[in-house]
């Protein structure tokens, strides 16, 4: 309809002596909120340019629109040309798209530009905490959005197996238990074994905060850790090094899996040391215009012209002893990503802003045309607590959060569904609880700090994940009671939608493709969450306002089609949010 409106409006404006083409007009097009119209064009700009009265111009332009199958009615009002869509046309197009597209309804065209989304990438030193999970949810959701928009997308987890954190956990676990300092030993059970029911990441991560504190005050321990760091740099890890890290990582991935988060690929940092690419980066950076060497032999880049807030205004590329740094290794990693992907996106906590700026500066320094893109998120803070840190041991674990959410969900499900077997209640509770957590994270703009409040995060009413699941389940129930498969053909008469509730729902369904497109191009993940809520709200309102199964045959047929389309679209939106659509709950 947009194209028709633009063409008509351009012709009408030219007839009124304003010279514009449809393409330029497209930027003026607005979706009105204050008035019940589908599209609007403000005339003030053209009125001003031609010295006319906006109200009169709008009325004149509106009057010149010719009737068509897409446009029902056009009116000029206080300087705006308001266009009302012909509803049958809108209904027919929308429902056709939904029923033809099914689970692909809303998706963009296939594209060739490939994308790599790196997210989470937490050091495998212990269980994931609530702060980190925001990056995981954002990254996973972004990847799902990009895929839906048509971009071939790969998610990656960057595993730090050579940094200080990796050295520290290896230092702990490579020692025989009896030789552990008491401060560390006391973090484990008396027999030192993994307690039954405790996840492996939790168990192996137990001594980590204490170890951090310990090496700060014990130089000899600190020296041992440094030696391990150098060994890792040389590619000679302590025995069990990769095994320990892999086990912790597996435990972390188990938690993420509950949220539907899985990775396509893992990039181990050590591979970039092993294959010489870190050395290559170092050599390359040594030959750049701003390369410099410190007195102790460390290599650096004079970054004073890059506007970094570093006091010394230099980026250290390698230490005096020749070992590499996180940034340098990360440059090697990113160059490798660019050799495979057209776009490289990193989802990072905002404490990594400087790192992001440093990477950009080094890419400029190396005269690389491309740049990684960054999705930076503020941390989740607990009301009353400060920043969460695994190092400091001040974190609330993701597992405990999920367990609590699922526990509360089970209470809710049990109250309503005493007809279901316990296993089914457990299954639903798991999906409701984890869906609630995903939604509460995904609905907030990444750059905003989230003040985490348990009551709000674990609420199942209003603007929540379960609200969305509930609307889906209701739609599914209607189809089930009608004896129809969701994939059955749903005939409909596009001229048969007259109820406001029907029309509102259809309009929401029609907005879905635009929502994906906008989210993908802007990277604004939260838009999908907002949309899903508005769609569910429109469905609930429709459900309340008109009967489906017990209505007159023609109405019943049409409403069943609408329910099926709503179910499909809500399901598609839920899947992008990583929330399981439930047939019953």
Partner RNA sequence: GGGCGCGUUGCUCAGCUUGGAUAGAGCACCGGGUUCCUAACCCGGGGGUCGGGGGUUCAAAUCCCCCCGCGCCCGCCA
**Pick from 156, 154, 149, 155: nearest CA to 111:** 149
Comparing CB distances to RNA, the nearer of 495 and 584 is 584
Beta carbon of residue 176, minimum distance to RNA (angstroms, whole number)? 26
Comparing CB distances to RNA, the nearer of 253 and 380 is 380
Beta carbon of residue 570, minimum distance to RNA (angstroms, whole number)? 13
Beta carbon of residue 192, minimum distance to RNA (angstroms, whole number)? 28
DSSP E strands: which ranges in 343-431? 343-349, 373-377, 380-382
Q: Which residues pair with 316 in a beta bridge?
A: 300
Cα–Cα distance measured from residue 265 to residue 155, given in angstroms and rounded to the nearest whole number? 6
Q: Which strand (E) or helix (H) includes residue 267?
A: strand 265-268
Beta carbon of residue 385, minimum distance to RNA (angstroms, whole number)? 11
**Pick from 551, 561, 543: nearest CA to 470:** 543
Beta carbon of residue 171, minimum distance to RNA (angstroms, whole number)? 14
Comparing CB distances to RNA, the nearer of 449 and 491 is 449
* SS3 label, residue 376: strand
Comparing CB distances to RNA, the nearer of 19 and 177 is 19
Comparing CB distances to RNA, the nearer of 189 and 322 is 322
Sheet strand arrangement including 80-85 = 39-42, 80-85, 71-77
Beta carbon of residue 191, minimum distance to RNA (angstroms, whole number)? 32
Comparing CB distances to RNA, the nearer of 167 and 184 is 167
Q: What are phi and psi of 374, to 5 degrees?
A: -125, 135
Cα 216 to Cα 113, 138, 180, 387, 395, distances in angstroms: 47, 34, 16, 21, 20
Beta carbon of residue 35, minimum distance to RNA (angstroms, whole number)? 4
User: DSSP string of 421-483?
Assistant: -HHHHHHHHHHHHHHHHHHHHHTS-TTSPEEE-HHHHT--SSSSHHHHHHHHHHHHHHHHHTT
Comparing CB distances to RNA, the nearer of 503 and 518 is 518
DSSP 388: -
Cα 482 to Cα 247, 474, 496, 563, 581, distances in angstroms: 49, 12, 20, 11, 19
Comparing CB distances to RNA, the nearer of 174 and 222 is 222
Beta carbon of residue 474, minimum distance to RNA (angstroms, whole number)? 5
């Amino acid at each position: 309809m947009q194209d028709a409106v633009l063409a008509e409006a351009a012709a009408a404006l030219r007839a009124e002596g304003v010279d514009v083409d449809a393409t330029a007009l497209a930027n003026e097009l607005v979706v009105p909120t204050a008035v019940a119209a589908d599209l609007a064009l403000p005339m003030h700009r053209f009125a001003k340019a031609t010295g006319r009265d906006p109200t009169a111009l709008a009325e004149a332009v509106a009057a010149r629109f010719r009737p068509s199958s897409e446009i029902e009615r056009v009116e000029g009002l206080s300087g705006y040309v308001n266009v009302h869509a012909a509803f049958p046309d809108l209904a027919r197009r929308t429902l056709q798209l939904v029923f033809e597209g099914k689970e692909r309804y809303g998706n963009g065209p296939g594209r060739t530009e490939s994308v790599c989304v790196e997210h989470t990438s937490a050091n495998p030193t212990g269980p994931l905490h609530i702060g980190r999970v925001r990056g995981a949810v954002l990254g996973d959701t972004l990847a799902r959005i990009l895929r839906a928009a048509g971009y071939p997308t790969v998610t990656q987890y960057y595993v730090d197996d050579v940094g200080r954190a990796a050295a520290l956990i290896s230092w702990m676990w490579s020692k025989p238990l009896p030789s552990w300092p008491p401060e560390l030993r006391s973090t484990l059970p008396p027999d030192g074994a993994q307690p039954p029911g405790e996840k492996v990441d939790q168990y192996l991560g137990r001594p980590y905060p204490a170890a951090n504190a310990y090496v700060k005050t014990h130089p000899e321990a600190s020296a041992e850790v440094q030696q391990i760091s150098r060994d890792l740099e040389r590619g000679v890890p302590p025995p069990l090094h990769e095994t320990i890290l892999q086990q912790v990582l597996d435990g972390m991935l188990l938690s993420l899996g509950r949220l539907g988060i899985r990775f396509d690929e893992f990039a181990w940092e050590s591979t970039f040391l092993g294959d010489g690419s870190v050395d290559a980066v170092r050599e390359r950076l040594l030959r750049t215009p701003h390369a410099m060497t410190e007195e102790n032999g460390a290599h650096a880049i004079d970054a004073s012209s890059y506007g970094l807030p570093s006091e010394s205004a230099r980026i250290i590329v390698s230490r005096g002893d020749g070992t590499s740094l996180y940034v340098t290794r990360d440059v090697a990693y990113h160059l490798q990503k660019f050799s495979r992907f057209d776009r490289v996106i990193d989802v990072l906590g905002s404490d990594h802003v400087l790192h992001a700026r440093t990477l950009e500066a080094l890419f400029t320094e190396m005269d690389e045309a491309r740049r990684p893109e960054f999705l930076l998120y503020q941390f989740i803070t607990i009301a009353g607590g400060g920043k969460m840190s695994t190092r400091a041991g001040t974190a609330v674990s993701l597992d405990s959060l999920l367990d609590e959410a699922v526990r509360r969900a089970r209470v809710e499900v049990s109250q309503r569904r005493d007809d279901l077997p316990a296993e089914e209640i457990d299954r639903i509770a798991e999906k409701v609880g984890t869906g609630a957590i995903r939604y509460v994270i995904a609905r907030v703009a990444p750059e905003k700090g989230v003040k985490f409040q348990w009551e709000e995060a674990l609420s199942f009413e209003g603007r929540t994940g379960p609200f969305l699941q509930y609307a889906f389940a209701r739609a599914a129930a209607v189809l089930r009671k009608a004896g129809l498969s969701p994939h059955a053909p749903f005939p409909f008469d596009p001229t048969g939608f007259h109820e406001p509730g029907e029309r509102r729902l259809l309009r929401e369904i029609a907005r879905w493709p635009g929502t994906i497109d906008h989210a993908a191009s802007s990277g604004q993940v939260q838009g999908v969450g907002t949309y899903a809520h508005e769609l569910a709200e429109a469905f609930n309102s429709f459900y309340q306002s008109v009967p489906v199964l017990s209505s007159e045959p023609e109405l019943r047929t049409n409403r069943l089609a609408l329910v099926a389309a709503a179910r499909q679209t809500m399901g598609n939106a839920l899947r992008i949010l990583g929330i399981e659509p439930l047939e019953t709950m």
